[in-house]
Structure 1
Amino acid sequence: MRLRDAPGDRQTWGGSRARVYAWSVAELLFVTNPWQISSRLRVAVLRLFGAQIGPGVTFRPRTRVRFPWKLTIGADTWIGEGVWIHNQDQVKIEHDVVISQESFLTTGSHRHRSDMGLVTRPILIEAGTWVTSRCMILGGVTIGRSSLIEPMTVVQQNVPSNTVLGSDRSAYVTRPRFRQEQE
C-alpha cells in the first residue's frame, strides 16, 4: 500500500481549507506559544474558532488542539501545559476535570490491514476525572465520572466511574478516589 493513496486525511477537517489554515496560524501564535501567559486569551481564541468552553477553564501554555470546532470543555476544567488534543473526531471533557501535563488525546488511528484508511472515534471524559501527566487517551474511550488515570497510562478501553487506572495494573481497580492509605 502506498501511504499517499491511503484514504482519510482532509475528510476529518470539518471545515474549509481557509478555516483550517487560519486556525493553524492562530494556534501557533496564541495557544501553543510558550510565552503566552494568558489562559483567557487562549480560551478566547479557541472559542473564536468554534470550541465550546465553559467558564473558569484554565488552558496552560504549549497546548495543541487540532480542530477547536470539535472540542467541548465544561466549566472549571484545567488543561495542563503541553497537552495535545488531536481531535479528528469530537472530544468532550465535562466539568471539573484535570488533564495534566504532556497528556495526549487522539481520536484517530488507521486500519492496519488493507488500505491504511483513517478511522476516527470520539472521546468522552466525564466530570471530576483526573488524567495525570503523560497519559494517552485513544479514540472511542469514555472515562467515567471521578476516575483517576495514573501517570503514563495508555487508555484504550472504557473506564468505569470511580476507578483508578494505572499502566502497572493488570486490571481496573475501583475504589474511592480520595482514600487515605495506611502504611
Structure 2
Amino acid sequence: MADTSVIDLSRAPGERASWDRPVWVVYAWSVCELLFVSNPWQISSRLRAQVLRVFGAEIGRGVVFRPRTRVRFPWKLRIGDRSWIGEGVWFHNQDDVSVGSDVVISQETMLTTGSHAHRRDMALLTRAIRIDDGAWLSARCLVLGGAHVGRSAVAAPMTVIRGDVPAGEIWSGNPARRTGLRFRRDGS
C-alpha cells in the first residue's frame, strides 16, 4: 500500500472559505455560543434565540432550544415558528440550513453541510440543507449536505439522510429507506 497516494493537508484550500464574516465576528460568535447557546445549563430558549439573532440567524417565534445546541455559523441558519431543537443538536452549517415551522429536531442530531474533495485536494465542498414544515428528525439522525426533508416527514432514530425524503413518509436506517407513511390516507 506504500504506492497509495496521500494528500498533503497543509496545502488543502479553503480553511476559512465558509466563514463569510470577518475573523473578529467569528471569534465573537464562538464566545457567545459557548456562554449562551451550547451552555448545558437550563437557560431560557428566548435568550438562546436572541443571541443567535444578534449574529444573523433568522429564528421564528416560539422556538425552543434545549441545552448544548451548537451552531457553526448563525448567519447561515433559518428556523421557522414553534420548532423544537433538542439537547445536543449540532448545526455544522458551513452552508445554509433552513428549518421550517413546527419542526422537531431531536437529541444529538447533526446537520452538516460540508464535505471535502477527497480524491483531489481536500478542498471544502458545501451544499445547503432544507427541512420543511412539520418534519421530525428523531434522536441521533445525521443529515448531510444537499438533503431535503419534506413536509411532515419523519426520520427514525439514527437515520442517515442524504438526498430527498418525500413529504409525509417515514424513513429509517443507513442507507435510509422508506418504511411507511406518517399519516393515513384520510389525513389522520
The answer for unaligned runs of 5 or more in structure 2 is 1-6
Q: Which residue of 2 aligns with 1:81?
A: 87
Structure 1-normalised TM-score?
0.93
Decide which of 52, 56, 76 is 1:50's aligned counterpart. Answer: 56
Per the TM alignment, residue 43 of structure 1 is displaced from its structure 2 partner at its CA by: 0.5
Matches of 1:69 and 1:59, distance apart in 2: 17
Check the 8 A contact 1:64/1:82 in 2, yes or no: yes
Per the TM alignment, residue 109 of structure 1 is displaced from its structure 2 partner at its CA by: 0.4
Matches within 5 A, 1:28-43: 28-43=34-49
Check the 8 A contact 1:30/1:36 in 2, yes or no: no
- Taking only the aligned residue pairs, the percentage that are identical comes to 59
1:139 equivalent in alignment to 2:145: yes
2:56 is paired with a residue of what secondary structure? Answer: coil
Q: Which residue of 1 aligns with 2:23?
A: 17
Per the TM alignment, residue 170 of structure 1 is displaced from its structure 2 partner at its CA by: 6.5
Runs of 4+ that moved beyond 4 A = none
1:22 counterpart letter in structure 2: A
After superposition, the C-alpha distances for 1:65-119 in whole angstroms (9 at most, x for unaligned) are 0000000000000000000000000000000000000000000000110111110
Check the 8 A contact 1:85/1:104 in 2, yes or no: yes
Residue 23 and residue 170 in structure 1: after superposition, are their counterparts in 2 closer, same or farther (change >3 A)? closer
After superposition, the C-alpha distances for 1:11-52 in whole angstroms (9 at most, x for unaligned) are 100111000000000000000110142111100100010000
Matches within 5 A, 1:1-183: 1-167=7-173, 171-175=177-181, 177-178=182-183
The answer for unaligned runs of 5 or more in structure 1 is none
Structure 2-normalised TM-score?
0.91
Check the 8 A contact 1:138/1:155 in 2, yes or no: yes
Please provide the CA RMSD for this pair. 1.3
2:59 counterpart letter in structure 1: I
